Amino acid sequence: GIQVEQSPPDLILQEGANSTLRCNFSDSVNNLQWFHQNPWGQLINLFYIPSGTKQNGRLSATTVATERYSLLYISSSQTTDSGVYFCAVFSSNTGKLIFGQGTTLQVKP
């Protein structure tokens, strides 16, 4: 099956710093999503990005489908950005999202 790898597994930032999270996947996919899971367990949609680049405020994402990777950029990080960031790829044959193991981000004031 498709493998999804995220890096780094853990990241500690000072408030105001920028960061890049990476997601590699092992096969062609129909869809890719980035999520933020907050400390209460809520999984929040950040981007639906099968290819190309999207921006939403301080966050942006780029997926290069032909090279099987996606990047999530966080600029001017805030303490509320802390949590776990998941990349997930979708296979329409199985209907399921396959999640990476996540990047745990801690932003210190």
Integer CA distances (angstroms), 69 to 23, 26, 27, 89, 97, in order: 5, 9, 10, 11, 16
Which CB atom, from 42 or from 106, has the smaller least distance to another protein? 42
Q: Which CB atom, from 17 or from 65, has the smaller least distance to another protein?
A: 65
Helix-strand-coil split of the chain, %, nearest 5:
5, 60, 35
Residues touching another protein: how many (CB under 8 A)? 24
Nearer Cβ to another protein, position 83 or 102? 102
The residue ranges that bind another protein (CB under 8 A) are 30-31, 33, 35, 40-45, 48, 50, 86, 88, 90, 92, 94-99, 101-102
